[in-house]
Structure 1
Amino acid sequence: MLPTTAAALGILAALLAWPVPALLARSRWPGRDPLVALLCWQAVGLAGGLSIIGALLVHGLAPWGHSLPEAVWSVLAGRSAGDPVRGDHWVTLTLAAVLASELVGVLLLSWVRITRTRRRHRALLELVVQPAPQPDARLLEHPAPVAFCIPGARPLLVLSSGMVAELDEAQLAAVVAHERAHLGEHHHLLLLPFVAWKTALPVLPAAERAYGSVRELVEMRADDVALTSLEGPTPRRTLAEAIVAAAGGAGSGGVPTGALAVAGAGVRARVVRLLEPADPLPPAARWSALGAAVLLLLLPTALLLLPAL
């Protein structure tokens, strides 16, 4: 039973390593519902990691039992293998351990590094920023139009003096609402697994593609949340103008590493999306995408556990 399970998990891992991320990245529907698309990307990443590690583990433990739980229990109990243990079994077990350690280790290391960088930037900024007219925001003397937030236990939302001078009151409110959306929904946590994926598997094209797509979707989601709190006759145009203004200052070096900025990614696509909004994703399509994400997470889990029943 285990060889069949290992083959099925291997096929699933291969699909999630390239074709599925490529298809999702090229699809147009994610821009119509960034939140659902972000959940789908999380499912792809988690299911992909579980599939490839599971395939290696299942093949390596095949001599010890007819299912993964049985094989794991046999190993933990110190029982001898029922079938001959070949060299390929030891190789796949070693690869499973190495890959699992690398993915978890890189995830933790990325979190520590980013957290440390953000803490350092926050400490430096707190020495020079002043209270801004906008609630919960801080003013930084900088000629370029820059706005960003530094997430964490003590989040910091910063507007440059250039941004305050260039934008009107409604546009500034749009920028602040966008950055508050990043902080309120903890978008930095949605990005972290894909930072780790890209770092751990730099040769995998899907890793870079996934990170870029998730970055853009996070910004689109923050735009959508910001629009719900904006007043005025043309909130979409107001936010689009603010994004364009911030994009002009994004290349000035005013945004620190680890921060989430209003002009962070996909500026052109986001402006077009705001000015020429597409129809929302129909409820049937939305629930279908969510159902597919759930099934994607359940499939490798079922392949690993069902043979034991």
Structure 2
Amino acid sequence: MLPTTAALLAVLAALLAWPVPALLARARWPGRDPLVALLCWQAIGLAGGLSIIGALLVHGLAPWGHSLPEAVWAVVHGRAATGAVRGDHWVTLTLAGVLASELVGVLLLSWARIARTRRRHRALLELVVQPAPEPDARLLEHPAPVAFCIPGARPLLVLSSGMVAELDGEQLAAVVAHERAHLGEHHHLLLLPFVAWKAALPVLPAAERAHGAVRELVEMRADDIALGSLHGSAPRRTLAAAIVAAAGGAGGVPAGALAVAGAGVRARVVRLLEPADPLPPAARASALAAAVLLLLVPTVLLLLPAL
């Protein structure tokens, strides 16, 4: 029967709903390798959703088979249940359907709302911007130091006149490199699941924690990519100075945009000026293996015969 499998999935879902995100959010190593940390957060989100919905499905379909595929096959073909169908089975099946619909629905709704907001801002900006000194960028007449990019099918990288006036050439190049990193790696897609998770489960502390952590890691990752393209004697100081300058105009960044002063300004500046050692290869491999394992465990529990 499937109750043991359902219980294991429920335990995994509970761990991924609070203690695991809390531990990762408090850990210090993600700043040493933001990309690996982002992959771990994605694995936590996917495995958590799969575990809780899977636990409900497994329990609800237990009377129809000894494994989830067998039970689903029996239901699809209209076969009678081999065990007693109780009220709790119908309740958990209903909850699974409601939760899955809510998570998918909120994800699609969040994507549609953000995309609509970005299209509106892009259309308005294109009416007033003009070519900027930096290639592929646009200049917006605004006294505050503002720099941001609007991702999408037609990405837009915007620098304010205040930003151009305040920064020197190297600092301006650092800002542009940071924004290009956001666009090049499609960081808005990494953020979207956590925006939806926060909207779907606002009472869950892990949702807020995960959203904040991923926002900061995305900015750190863009910093790292930008550093790789910068020249000069002190690229870290150059980028740190640009981030501090842009923080003064963070309030002028439109909704849905990604900005160089978007999140974790203090932690990022400290990280740039006092860089920690890179994550050792063994630790990096262990973190990646843990992310893969998080995805494999609920998948195996759902597909293999019941324990």
TM-score range, shorter chain: over 0.9
Shift of 1:308: 6.6
Distance in 1 of aligned mates of 2:112 and 2:258:
17
| Cα distance in 2 for residues equivalent to 1:250 and 1:222 | 17
How far, CA to CA, are the matches of 1:133 and 1:224 in structure 2?
23
User: What are the superposed Cα offsets for residues 251-280 of structure 1, whole Å, 9 maximum, x if unpaired?
Assistant: 3xx210000000000000000000000000
Aligned to 1:284: 282
Select the residue among 288, 296, 299 that pairs with 2:297: 299
Q: Where does residue 256 of structure 1 map in the other structure? A: 254
CA RMSD between the two structures: 0.8
- Structure 1 residue matching 2:61: 3-state secondary structure: helix
Cα deviation per residue 1:205-245 (whole Å; 9 max; x = unaligned)?
00000000000000000000000000000000000000000
Partners of 1:306 and 1:70 in 2: CA distance: 10
Query: d(CA) in 2 for partners of 1:20 and 1:255?
Result: 32
Residue 159 of structure 1 aligns to a residue whose secondary structure is strand
**For the structure 1 residues 37 and 47, does the alpha-carbon distance in structure 2 shift closer, same or farther, using more than 3 Å as the test?**
same
Do the aligned residues in 2 keep the contact of 1:70 with 1:308 (CA within 8 Å)? no
Q: What's 1:274 paired with?
A: 272
TM-superposed CA distance for 1:110, in Å, is 0.4
- 1:137 paired with 2:126, answer no
CA distance in 2, matches of 1:249, 1:187: 21
CA distance, structure 2, for counterparts of residue 72 and residue 267 of structure 1: 49
How far apart are the structure 2 equivalents of 1:166 and 1:69? 62
Give 4+ residue runs of structure 1 displaced > 4 Å after superposition: none
Q: Equivalent pairs: percent with the same residue?
A: 90
Match of 2:261, as an amino acid? A
Match of 1:21 in 2: 21
> In structure 2, how many angstroms separate the alpha carbons of the residues matched to 1:287 and 1:164?
41
- The correspondence of residues 1-309 of structure 1 with structure 2, limited to 5 A, is 1-251=1-251, 254-307=252-305
CA distance in 2, matches of 1:127, 1:249: 21
Would the aligned equivalents of 1:33 and 1:280 in 2 still touch at CA under 8 Å?
yes
Amino acid at match of 1:274: L
Q: TM-score, normalised by structure 1?
A: 0.99
Offset at residue 306 of structure 1 (A) = 1.4
Q: Secondary structure at the match of 1:144?
A: coil
**What CA distance in whole angstroms lies between the structure 1 residues aligned with 2:214 and 2:24?**
11
Note the alpha carbon deviations across 1:106-140, whole angstroms, 9 max, x for none.
00000000000000000000000000010000000
Letter matched to residue 280 of structure 1: P
The question of whether the paired residues in 2 share the 8 Å contact of 1:145 and 1:161 is answered with yes
Q: Output the CA distance in 2 between the equivalents of 1:248 and 1:141.
A: 16
| Preserved CA contact (<8 Å) 2:2 2:306 | no
Shift of 1:250: 1.0
Stretch moving more, 183-192 or 242-251 = 242-251
Q: What is the letter of the counterpart of residue 165 of structure 1?
A: A
In the alignment, the residues of structure 1 paired with residue 211 and residue 47 of structure 2 have an alpha-carbon distance, to the nearest angstrom, of 16
Structure 2 unpaired stretches of 5+? none
Supply the distance in 2 between the matched residues of 1:308 and 1:299 (Cα, whole angstroms). Answer: 13
Code of the residue aligned with 2:279 in structure 1: it is: L
Deviations 1:4-27 (A, max 9, x none): 000000000000000000000000
Q: Deviations over 1:36-75 (max 9, x none)?
A: 0000000000000000000000000000011101100000
Distance (whole Å) between structure 2 residues aligned to residue 151 and residue 127 of structure 1 = 18
Q: Secondary structure at the match of 1:82?
A: coil
Q: Which runs of 5+ in 1 are unaligned?
A: none
